[in-house]
Amino acid sequence: MVYAVPLQRLNQIIMKSTYHRSWAEPYKIKMVELLRMTTRAQRLKAIREAGYNTFLLRSDDVYIDLLTDSGTAAMSDQQWAGLMMGDESYAGSRNFYHLESAIQKYYGYQYIVPTHQGRGAENLISKILIKPGDVIPGNMYFTTTRLHQELAGGIFADIIIDEAHDPLSEYPFKGNIDLKKLDQLVQTHGAAKIPYVSMATSVNMAGGQPISMANLKALYEYTRPLGIRVIHDMTRVAENAWFIKQREPGYEKHSVREIVKEICSYTDGATMSAKKDALVNIGGFLALNDWDLFEEARNLVVVYEGLHTYGGLAGRDMEAMAIGIGESVDNNHMHARVGQVEYLGHKMEEYGIPIVRPIGGHGIFVDAKRFLPHLSQDQYPAQALAAEIYLDSGVRTMERGVVSAGRKSTGENYYPKLELVRFTIPRRVYTQAHMDVIAESAFRVLKRAKKIRGLKMIYEPKYLRFFQARFEPL
């Protein structure tokens, strides 16, 4: 018998299709937003005017925007329809009650206070729980989270496992907490000085690395008898749940939805930036299980955000959030979401671009120390690399290194071990072809890496300097 395709090749194809099934987006496109393409000369002018800080570029000058996955998601038709269901009453909007029931249903927390975004919730919980001189352990810092802790008089202590600081470590749960480090803090300061552990799922600054369920359980078993609370930064909890499903024995058959709820059950409350996982352009909340804390939060939110049934949001924003939360815990959504990030990561690895391993949930983190080994950290290698990538292709990324780390309250610079450029992928926004263009641009810049010069900071704002700092080439 004669085969059009040789038998051996046919078997290979059959084998491949048996074991490998590609992911694809569980949605189709209903509307598109046109992008402006720029020339290199236009981009050079734009990045100079922006002081070599990608945060200061106008988005009209950007082709593919990977600055952040925050508030950049494409909402579904259901969410857009939800906007029209906005009940804009000052108090007791029906959308608030829908949001409250979505949070109870999908996350399991009892009481909620909406806030305009994540940092609004961080402000409330820090003010309520932290006394001056308290120590707040966390699995790596996040910029706004730590700043609110410090503004409330607290001292942040990093208790993430050492592997998290090593971009080459393949450890599958680099978001884990080192309980020995936590115990050391308890021995030194006493449990009374530690109001809570600030635990993040999918640790942003470590490269979107997950925490394991086993670690969470062990943490809760350790903290509960000591009266130390666990406050969950749940900004990317569903992405973390996806990694638990993929990597943690015993969870293969659990749904993202079940895993998300189990994660939350080992914590006492949560702050949420709904602009990430929850697929909205604005919104957040503080969730609590303790009525007394909730009473305080409900009181305080009136000062900073708005009445406790809207917290700085329009009714329509709360409706879109309630719908987005449900969509975010869907297995197929998460498969495509993380699948797209992994696609970009593998492509970059094929080109030899040094990235943080394992590939995280919300973006690819390029290791600027290995990309530009000739630059010292005082020459802002990650900042310089982000500017170069923009110049090459109009792809906007951001620095996550010494500029983002900022200064201690004493004025000294923090020198983080990780000096990264974050290629953050907005949810449901770009296609696989966009991913190809991004990886090719990073490769082009890599080929001329030796010629890239460092930067000098010429303007430094007092708080969260990475947002507004300005630079000049050395």
142 part of the active site? yes
Q: How does 25-56 read in b/e, with b if 16+ C-beta sit within 10 Å?
A: beeeeeeeeeeeebeeeebeebbeebbbbbbb
Residue closer to ligand PLP (CB basis): 25 or 150? 150
Task: Give 234's DSSP letter.
Answer: -
- Catalytic position from the list 142, 251, 266, 423: 142
Among 175, 195, 284, 416, contact with ligand PLP (rule: CB under 6 A) = 284
| Interaction between residue 145 and ligand PLP (CB under 6 A) | yes
Residue closer to ligand PLP (CB basis): 241 or 439? 241
Q: How does 368-381 read in b/e, with b if 16+ C-beta sit within 10 Å?
A: bbebbeebebebbb
Work out whether strand 420-424 and strand 455-459 pair parallel, antiparallel, or are unpaired.
Answer: unpaired
Residue closer to ligand PLP (CB basis): 95 or 149? 149
DSSP H helices, 372-453, are 381-393, 402-405, 432-447
Q: Is residue 401 classed exposed, middle or buried when 0-12, 13-18 and 19+ CB atoms within 10 A define those classes?
A: buried
Q: How far is the CB of 201 from ligand PLP (least distance, A)?
A: 9
Tell me the CA distances in angstroms from 463 to 341, 404, 411, one per residue in order.
31, 10, 12
| Interaction between residue 393 and ligand PLP (CB under 6 A) | no
Among 200, 260, 301, 356, contact with ligand PLP (rule: CB under 6 A) = 200
**Distance from the first to the final alpha carbon of the chain:** 70
Q: What are phi and psi of 461, to 5 degrees?
A: -70, 165
Site string for ligand PLP, 80-119 (x = CB under 6 A): -------------------------------------xxx
371 part of the active site? no
Tell me the CA distances in angstroms from 452 to 257, 307, 383, 388, 405, one per residue in order.
45, 51, 11, 8, 23
Beta bridge partners of 355: 366
For the record, the structure tokens of 237 come out as 């909890």
**Near ligand PLP by CB under 6 A, which window of 126-134, 271-279, 317-325, 398-406?**
271-279
Q: How far is the CB of 467 from ligand PLP (least distance, A)?
A: 11
Region of 146 on the Ramachandran plot (φ > 0 left; ψ -120 to 50 alpha; else beta) = alpha
**Near ligand PLP by CB under 6 A, which window of 161-169, 269-277, 302-310, 432-440?**
269-277
233 part of the active site? yes
Residue closer to ligand PLP (CB basis): 272 or 344? 272
| Interaction between residue 62 and ligand PLP (CB under 6 A) | no
Question: Degrees (nearest 5) of the Cα angle 91, 93, 97?
Answer: 120
| Interaction between residue 207 and ligand PLP (CB under 6 A) | no
Q: How far is the CB of 130 from ligand PLP (least distance, A)?
A: 16
Q: Is residue 425 classed exposed, middle or buried when 0-12, 13-18 and 19+ CB atoms within 10 A define those classes?
A: buried
| Interaction between residue 137 and ligand PLP (CB under 6 A) | no
Site string for ligand PLP, 223-242 (x = CB under 6 A): ----------x-x-------
**Near ligand PLP by CB under 6 A, which window of 28-36, 140-148, 237-245, 389-397?**
140-148
443 part of the active site? no
| Interaction between residue 204 and ligand PLP (CB under 6 A) | yes
Active site residues: 90, 142-143, 233, 276, 400, 466
Residues in contact with ligand PLP by CB under 6 A are 70, 117-119, 142, 144-145, 200, 204, 233, 235, 273, 275-276, 284
